[in-house]
Structure formats: C-alpha cells, structure tokens
Amino acid sequence: MSYAAPHIGWLQIAPLAIVLGTGLVGVLVEAFVPRRARRTTQLVLVFAALVAALLLIVAQWRDTMASGGVSLFGGSYLLDGPALAIQGTLVVLSILAVAVFADRTSVGQDAFAPAAAAVPGSDYEELARRKGLEQTEVYPLAMFGLGGMLLIVAAGDLLTLFVALEALSMPLYVLTGLARRRRLLSQEASLKYLLLGSFASALLLFGAALLYGFSGSLHLGEIAAATGTIAGLEGLLLGGMTLLLIGLFFKVGAVPFHAWTPDVYVGAPTPVTGFMAATTKIAAFGAMVRVVYVVGPSLQWDLEPMLWTVAILTMVVGTVVALVQTDVKRMLAYSSIAHAGFVLVGVLAFSTEGIASVLFYLVVYGLATIGAFAVVTLVRQTRTGAEGTVILGEATHLAQWAGLGRRSPWLAGALSLFLLSFAGIPLTAGFAGKFTVFTAAADGGAVPLVVVGVIASAAAVFFYVRLIVLMYFTPEREEEGEEGVTVVTSSGFTTVVIAVAAIGTVLLGVLPGPLLELLGQAVKFLP
C-alpha cells in the first residue's frame, strides 16, 4: 500500500500558523519568563508575529489574485481573494488594536485587571494592584482570537466554520471580563456574552447539521451543488441556512440578534471593545459573505425576505436607539449595529461589486472604530479627595465630554473625524464606503434597502454631530464638588494608533481609488 503525503500549502497557512503559534508561545512566556520581563517579551512577540503575518499575506497577494486562490486540506481551507483580503485587513487592524491594549498612559496602569481571578474589592486584588501586577495573558488571548478570525474567513466547510467561530469567540469571552475598573460590570458583560454567544453557536451548529443532512457533505461548494439536484428536502436546506445565518447575524450584531452588543461593548475593557467591535464583525462578515455567495445564489429568492428584514431592522433600530444614548461607549455600540446593517446592504447586492464594496466598508469601519475607542480610553474621571486628585476609570457619560475640544483639541479633532466618517460625511472614508455599498446595492436591484440606508445615515448624523457640538461648542461643566474629568497622556501607543487611524480615514476618504481597485481584484470565491 502506498501512502501519498498530503499537500500542505505552507505559504498559504503561514499567517494563520504564525498567529496561533505566537498565542501558544505567549502562554509559555507566561509560565517561564520572569514577571518583570513578561510584558516586553509579549509585546515584541505579538508585534513581530503580526508584522510577519502581514508581510506573508502581502507576499502571496499577486499569485492568489492571479490564480484565483488555492484550496487546501481537501477544500477545508480556501485561500481565495476575499479570504486573503479580509485576513490582511484583520491583521492590520489587530496591530492597531493590540497597540491600544499595551498603552499604560500617564497613570501607569493598563486597562486590564491586575489579577483577574481575584474577587473585586478583595484584599488580594488591592495587594495585586499595589504590587503592580499585570495580566499579560491578554496578548496570547488576542492572538488566539485573531487566529480564529483568520481561519473563519477561509473556512470552506461547515466543520472549519464552526471550530473557527468558537476559536474566535472564546478568547473574547475571557477578554471581556478583564477590565481593571468597574469589574462587576465587566464580569457581567462577560457572562452575557458567553451565554448568548454559545447559544448562537449552538444554533449555527444545528443549522450546519441540517445542511449536512440535506446534502451529505460539509463542504459549502458541494452543498451549493446539491441545492440544484436534491428535491424534496427543502425544509432541511432552508432551515439549515436560516440557523447558520442566525449564528453569523449574532456575531455581527444584526437586529434582532444584537441584544448582547451594547452591554458587552460597555462592560468590556475599552481596548478590547475596540478590538472586537472591529475585528469580530469583519471576520463574521467574511464568513457570511462566503456562505451567502457560495451557497446562497440558488436560494436567493428564498433567503432574500429574511436577509432584507434583518438588514432594514438593523439599520433602523441601530440608528434610532443610538439617538437616545447618553453613554459614549453605548452610543458607539449602537452605531456599530447600524453599520452592520449598512454592510448587509452591500452583501445583498449579490454581485462582485457588492463583495468589493463590503470589503472596503469593513476596512473603513474598522479603522474609525479602533480610533474612536482608542480616544475613549484617554478621557478619564477624576476625584479630588484628601490625598489629592485621583484618576479613575473612563468618563463615558456624554455630559462629561462637554468642552473637551478646548482642553485637548487634537484628541477631540481626531474623534470628530472618526464620528464624521461613521456619519458618512464627504471627504472622510465613511462617505466613500457608504457610497460604494449603496451604489453596488442599487445596481444589484436592492433599491428599497438603499433608500432605508440613506435615510438611516441621514438620521445618524444627528447623534454623531451632537457629540462634536458638545465637545466644541458647549462650555465645560462646572466641577461638581470632587468629581472631574481629565485627559490622560498616552504612553505613545494610543497616540500612534489614533494618528494612523485618522490619517487612514482621511486618505481613504480623499483617495479611495487605489484601495477599491486592489479590493476589486479580490472578489472571486472558490467554490
């Protein structure tokens, strides 16, 4: 009996392997490197790995676009244009997001609990704080999460899809519970995310089982082929697709599966909020676009009512509820829900322009989201007591942001830029993103969706601009007794992230052409 060695595309899986491998090495670092050196070691490892992964993705760009991609491991790992483009986006955004993790600011503390296992308010926690302990496990956790994301966008079968979905979710459940301040809120958010997240995964899994029952195969391409040949089992097919999509809707935070989003975004440490708001959504959209475009076309008529309803609800509810929020993080959470709706509009174009527009929109949204949450990490509450002024957690109430434009014009300016980009004002990247998405959808025949989308974006301008007005044109609130607001100085990382995100937002707004052209090559899914 002869044994044929399987073909392994080392180059193609290298970015994924490097990221996951760094996560594993990071765990060993936690165990063997002395505490003093751990943070530096982790940071060097993580950034080296992310840059290496990015370079490898860039290196295989031309070949992948020319050949249309490669199918590895019997079709389980499909590295085609969209997969590679989204992997590149994810790695770039992760570099930015993880840099925000690392910032200790002028207070000298990062955003994570000194000892996550300690009971909040206990002596042990106080001791850990005084000793200056740091939970450096956040870096390997972020790497594991990113590994899952890189895998899910290239998942060619339902098994890989499910495992990748869980691999990206589980580290995030833990990261959500690690906030240094307001630990009760953080743990609560973690529990909600866990329960609702695993519930959604279970629904997705049952959907996968039904699709397997329908087609006898786990491969998306073979399921798509079976839709045309197998008759009499439409119940399994439609039920399976619906449950599968619900699982993914949950991950992108589409209404009516969005209930976790505001709570988790508020409770999680803000750097983690930025990380997951940008990357999880992008990864889940990557998987959704693949499912919809590979299996969906023959079911377009059956799936469209559901997809349209979800898209419209997401845009409308996200926008309307964001109008009445008084907490910055909560407002950004609802705004991210609305953005999920806009991306869905692009998905529903059912055309190659639709795919390119979705890829572009995700880049734009990710940049502005990480930038905006990075700004939130720097605006802090203070309390003046007997022992002087103490800097506390983030000042997230909108009223506390009044007059920020006078005290820190650069910071407020950057946030205004991100908000304008969210709102889709011309000359920011958000406008280019919305324009391409809506054009693609209108060309694809989804005109009613575009109308709703345009109305929703117009209404959304109100709450974005309200915050800008508050920062620049509202006088600072009188200091009420001991409570105050201050802006802490970043230790460098966050400043760089905000600057990069701001430059990216302006650049993509003024000159969207090159990136659009680049992403325009990456629109062919392997079956």
Partner 1 sequence: MSLTNYLVLSTLLFTIGTMAVLLRRNGIIVFMGVELMLNATNLALVTFSRMHGNLDGQVFAFFVMVVAAAEVVIGLAIIVAIFRTRRSASVDDVNLLRN
Q: Give me the residues that bind partner 1 (CB under 8 A), please.
A: 116-117, 119-120, 158-159, 162-163, 166, 170, 173-174, 177, 183-185, 187-192, 194-195, 198-199, 201-203, 205-206, 208-210, 212-213, 216-218, 262-263, 266-267
**Token pair belonging to 111:** 């955003």
Closest distance to partner 1 from the beta carbon of 155 (Å): 13
Closest distance to partner 1 from the beta carbon of 206 (Å): 5
Q: How far apart are CA 156 and CA 487, in angstroms?
A: 47
Q: Which is nearer to partner 1, 166 or 483 (CB)?
A: 166
Q: How far apart are CA 82 and CA 355, in angstroms?
A: 8
Closest distance to partner 1 from the beta carbon of 22 (Å): 19
Q: How far apart are CA 525 and CA 502, in angstroms?
A: 32
Closest distance to partner 1 from the beta carbon of 133 (Å): 17
**Token pair belonging to 146:** 């990113």
Q: Which is nearer to partner 1, 267 or 424 (CB)?
A: 267
**Token pair belonging to 301:** 């008529």
Q: Which is nearer to partner 1, 266 or 359 (CB)?
A: 266
Closest distance to partner 1 from the beta carbon of 184 (Å): 6
Q: How far apart are CA 133 and CA 248, in angstroms?
A: 37
Closest CA to 332 of 347, 346, 321, 316: 321
Please state, as a whole number, how many other Cβ atoms lie within 10 Å of the Cβ of residue 198: 14
List CB contacts of 177: < 8 A, sequence separation 6 or more.
116, 186, 187, 189, 190, 191
> Which H/E stretch holds residue 382?
strand 379-385
Q: Which is nearer to partner 1, 88 or 267 (CB)?
A: 267
Q: Which is nearer to partner 1, 185 or 442 (CB)?
A: 185
SS (H, E, C) 394-412: ECCEHHHHCCHHHHCHHHH
Q: Which is nearer to partner 1, 213 or 409 (CB)?
A: 213
Closest distance to partner 1 from the beta carbon of 230 (Å): 11
Closest distance to partner 1 from the beta carbon of 182 (Å): 8
Closest distance to partner 1 from the beta carbon of 201 (Å): 8
Helix, strand, or coil here: 219? strand
Q: Which is nearer to partner 1, 178 or 412 (CB)?
A: 178
List CB contacts of 418: < 8 A, sequence separation 6 or more.
368, 369, 371, 372, 375, 501, 502, 505
Closest CA to 168 of 149, 185, 153: 149
Closest distance to partner 1 from the beta carbon of 522 (Å): 29
Q: Which is nearer to partner 1, 128 or 468 (CB)?
A: 128
Please state, as a whole number, how many other Cβ atoms lie within 10 Å of the Cβ of residue 317: 19
Q: Which is nearer to partner 1, 69 or 177 (CB)?
A: 177
Give the CA angle between residues 260, 261, 263 to the nearest 5°: 70
